[in-house]
Structure 1
Amino acid sequence: MPRRCRPSPTPLGISKSVSGTSALPVAPSVSQSRRVVVTGLGCLTPNGSDVATTWESVVEGCSGAARITRFDPSDLPVQIACEVKDEPELANVPSKEARRMDRVLRFALLAAQEAVSHAGLDFDATDRERVMVAIGSGVGGVETLIANQRILETKGARRVSPFVVPYSIVNMPSGMVSIHFRLGGPNLSHSTACATSTHALGESAEAIARGVVDVALAGGAEAPMVPLTIAGFAAMRALSPNSESTRASRPFDVGRDGFVLGEGAAVLVLEAEDHALARGAQPLAVLSGYGASADGFHLSAPDRSGAGAIRCMRSALARAGFEPSRVDAVNAHATSTSIGDVVEARALREVFGRWTDHLPVSATKSATGHLLGAAGALEAILAISALHAQRLPPTINLETAGPGCELDHVAGKARPAQVAHILSNSFGFGGTNGSLIFSHPDA
């Protein structure tokens, strides 16, 4: 049975060794590309207030789910979620300003601060105009928007906050981080539903590879815990109605019936390898491959043939210059929905063929819930952590694989494994797909 537990912070055991300087395969659109590495990680999640506590919680099979506390959910058809429990104080931000911000902005800043600190980045010694920020969000500052709609209806237009627009727009997590660190490079915000931060990472890596920038702070942030969001997802039958919170998210299981909504933020520092080595940083991972595609099929349902997901994963493999057999493990998108999990399993079998039976698959949303726009970046952090721990996180609550979901599941508990390359998938509403491949720097 999964546990709702909060392990003490422990080191990830990341070995910061440096690989050679061989370039990535040339992308079709560029004549030459630089190797892109990860040098810093930061997150705030339902499972922990930083990377170390989050990893320990997830790898130990602890669930971040519980009854909703931010409001009384008694009138809603779904009353559980994966909420952030411990929100640290922001450094170098006046407390009054921090309290005024929408939570999605604080989440983004907290994750970015941890990532920058982890990377050892000194922006005073860096060309700030060659540092980009790409932190996306699915729903942005929805708490601010809903709160001010209530003020408008009860107290009138004059009482509406002048911050309602800047704090609610989707690009402000990225904007706030750019402002906080006084960065002058591109300031972008992807909003591609559940694939948001995967696309943010992939597109940032492409910008670095092309020489547009040297460094990127990339990821996603989400704070969707308002009654309307819960009610909306429930109306779509996307959320699990299971009131036993820690057992509700069960990707690939025969009894799966929807996801558990999550919140938080995850940010990674990406750098050109030559830039990282020149400043004395040692890479945590190489972002070896990135693929993106569209289903062109339906508002929320995936193409049941898996064609879009198949193209996406094959594109990531091609960008990395990998045969399918090079991939040692998969962090699946797997949201615990009846159709989506089957389609992803079908796509994995098509892409990896005879290797599929020996390809371990983890579905970490079983523990963290679905962080929407922040999910891909969080799962990238978990994949990189797995590369260094040589331990694959489990899919909790997976007891019996459902029809069509038969894979080499890391079910129930973590699995020791020799892994050099991990593929991570993100598939979103609107048929938007993203896949990333992370490699150990020594691989």
Structure 2
Amino acid sequence: MIKEPISITALSTISALGSTPDEVWNSYLNDDHCFSEVDLGHQKVWGAQLAREMKLALTKLRKSDSKYKDLDESVLYAIYTARKAAESAGWDGSDNFGINIGSSRGATSLFEKYHKEYLASGKSSTLSSPTTTLGNISSWVAHDLKTKGPEISHSITCSTALHALLNGVAWIQSGMADKFMVGGSEAPLTPFTIAQMQALKIYSRMSVKEAARGNDKGNLPCRALDFDKKQNTMILGEGAAMACLEKGLKPNALALIEGIGYATEPLEHNISISADAHCFQDSMKMALGNMDTKQVDIVVMHSPGTIKGDMSEIKAIEKVFCNKTPFLTTNKWKVGHTFGASGLLSVEMAILMLQHQTYIETPFYNQEKRNRPIKKVLVNAVGFGGNAVSILLSK
């Protein structure tokens, strides 16, 4: 699938884990989760919120340009991380790089605000349509970075960011572009978005008081990779992640994309995938190609913290890797599910493990300690509708 290596030359993220590689890595090294209380007015729930300092930086960004004052937070998150990624890669507008940034929910905060106003007055705000279209994300990033390359916005639910990466790879391999910025951005900690997850009965029901006693295993509000849990424990997080892709092996590469895989399985109903995740089996096999599965050191799982979601993915991994299952990990027990941005946050986790040569364990899944060098990491993501993506990364 990959004609020649494609380098990830920069990666910028913001999430409850932090906003710099050192902050994020230190978050992975401690045993604490990153959840805090989110006050929705009528109820309080767990959520993974950006740090206060980051919120202040985003407020400053909003005030820096009069055109930005009416943008949704999801767009501001994308602009902020895109600036950092472009700066780190040494790109400027003259590069005319492509942009593909997506979001599962898009401008959900503005949607809810404008709809509330409509219900009260029977009229819609002038900006209600232009500021809530999904195209806002890539369009405003392209405007901010002054690139004239192609710009694409899309939503493929929770696998959005990795589908953006697929698109970037396809453009580069086609010869239509040498550089592509890809990513996802999500600001889902809003009343209606969380109510939708609660209606599906997949949101964590652990109260803030229940978990306030400490961070031992019994009190962790999200139990991703706990295959013995008796109830769903997904928690939402806000964040964004952008990666810069360049053709060939670059001296400043953070990692190489060695394989890509994707698959969609027939829908049985609106949210589920099969019990052994046929889509994941197919996407992982495609990403691995003819490679010996023993070469894969780690799989960063999608693992949203739901009973069926976690279990179907582990069954798919067991079928693909047989009795030689790699080290398994996930970040959702710590930072929650950032929907459309989650796949690239998992890529960040993979790159950090490659750089630091350290296996990051999870609290619930007991597995053999590993000490062999980390050379190849497989990253999974899937969304509602069974649209799976697998990306194979190497040093």
* Shift of residue 258, structure 1, vs aligned partner: 2.3
**Residue equivalent to 2:237:** 262
* Shift of residue 175, structure 1, vs aligned partner: 1.6
Q: 1:167 to 1:395 in 2, by over 3 A?
A: farther
Is 2:301 the partner of 1:337? no
Equivalent residues in 2 for 1:29-428 (5 A)?
A: 33-69=3-39, 71-74=40-43, 79-85=45-51, 86-87=54-55, 88-89=57-58, 94-124=64-94, 126=95, 128=96, 131-157=97-123, 160-243=124-207, 244=210, 247-253=220-226, 254-255=228-229, 257-273=232-248, 277=250, 282-297=252-267, 298-318=269-289, 321-356=290-325, 359-396=326-363, 398=364, 401=365, 408=367, 418-428=373-383
**Is the contact made by 1:217 and 1:267 (CA closer than 8 Å) also made in structure 2?**
yes
* Shift of residue 217, structure 1, vs aligned partner: 0.7
* Shift of residue 156, structure 1, vs aligned partner: 4.3
* Shift of residue 284, structure 1, vs aligned partner: 1.0
**Is the contact made by 1:422 and 1:438 (CA closer than 8 Å) also made in structure 2?**
yes
**d(CA) in 2 for partners of 1:342, 1:313:** 16
* Shift of residue 409, structure 1, vs aligned partner: 7.4
Q: 1:288 to 1:355 in 2, by over 3 A?
A: same
TM (norm. structure 2) is: 0.90
* Shift of residue 322, structure 1, vs aligned partner: 2.1
* Shift of residue 179, structure 1, vs aligned partner: 1.5
* Shift of residue 394, structure 1, vs aligned partner: 2.7
**d(CA) in 2 for partners of 1:60, 1:135:** 31
**d(CA) in 2 for partners of 1:409, 1:348:** 16
**Residue equivalent to 1:436:** 391
Calculate the aligned-residue CA RMSD, in Å. Answer: 2.1
**Is the contact made by 2:63 and 2:69 (CA closer than 8 Å) also made in structure 1?**
no
Q: 1:61 to 1:227 in 2, by over 3 A?
A: same
**d(CA) in 2 for partners of 1:135, 1:237:** 29
**Amino acid of the residue matched to residue 164 of structure 2?**
A
* Shift of residue 371, structure 1, vs aligned partner: 0.2
**Amino acid of the residue matched to residue 143 of structure 2?**
I
**Is the contact made by 1:364 and 1:379 (CA closer than 8 Å) also made in structure 2?**
yes
* Shift of residue 92, structure 1, vs aligned partner: 9.9
**d(CA) in 1 for partners of 2:352, 2:174:** 27
Higher mean displacement: 50-59 or 360-369: 50-59
**Is the contact made by 2:222 and 2:305 (CA closer than 8 Å) also made in structure 1?**
yes
* Shift of residue 35, structure 1, vs aligned partner: 2.1
**d(CA) in 1 for partners of 2:175, 2:63:** 32
**Is the contact made by 2:92 and 2:146 (CA closer than 8 Å) also made in structure 1?**
no
**d(CA) in 2 for partners of 1:215, 1:91:** 26
TM (norm. structure 1) is: 0.81
Unaligned runs of 5+ in 2: none
**d(CA) in 1 for partners of 2:176, 2:265:** 29
Q: 1:178 to 1:80 in 2, by over 3 A?
A: same
Q: 1:141 to 1:46 in 2, by over 3 A?
A: same
Residue 133 of structure 1: SS of its match in structure 2? strand
**d(CA) in 2 for partners of 1:392, 1:105:** 33
**d(CA) in 2 for partners of 1:322, 1:166:** 47
**d(CA) in 2 for partners of 1:55, 1:100:** 33
**d(CA) in 2 for partners of 1:34, 1:118:** 23
Post-superposition Cα deviations, 1:307-337, rounded to whole Å, max 9, x if no partner, equal 111011001111xx52211111010111111
* Shift of residue 97, structure 1, vs aligned partner: 3.7
* Shift of residue 282, structure 1, vs aligned partner: 1.5
Residue 108 of structure 1: SS of its match in structure 2? helix
**Is the contact made by 1:386 and 1:392 (CA closer than 8 Å) also made in structure 2?**
yes
* Shift of residue 34, structure 1, vs aligned partner: 3.6
Equivalent residues in 2 for 1:3-22 (5 A)?
A: none
**d(CA) in 2 for partners of 1:122, 1:211:** 20
**d(CA) in 1 for partners of 2:281, 2:179:** 30
Residue 189 of structure 1: SS of its match in structure 2? strand
**Is the contact made by 1:290 and 1:437 (CA closer than 8 Å) also made in structure 2?**
yes
Post-superposition Cα deviations, 1:221-254, rounded to whole Å, max 9, x if no partner, equal 0011211111110010111111145611111212
Unaligned runs of 5+ in 1: 1-25, 28-32, 402-406
**d(CA) in 1 for partners of 2:361, 2:154:** 29
**d(CA) in 2 for partners of 1:73, 1:438:** 43
What is the identity percentage for the equivalent residue pairs of Structure 1 and Structure 2? 26
**Amino acid of the residue matched to residue 437 of structure 1?**
L
* Shift of residue 167, structure 1, vs aligned partner: 2.0
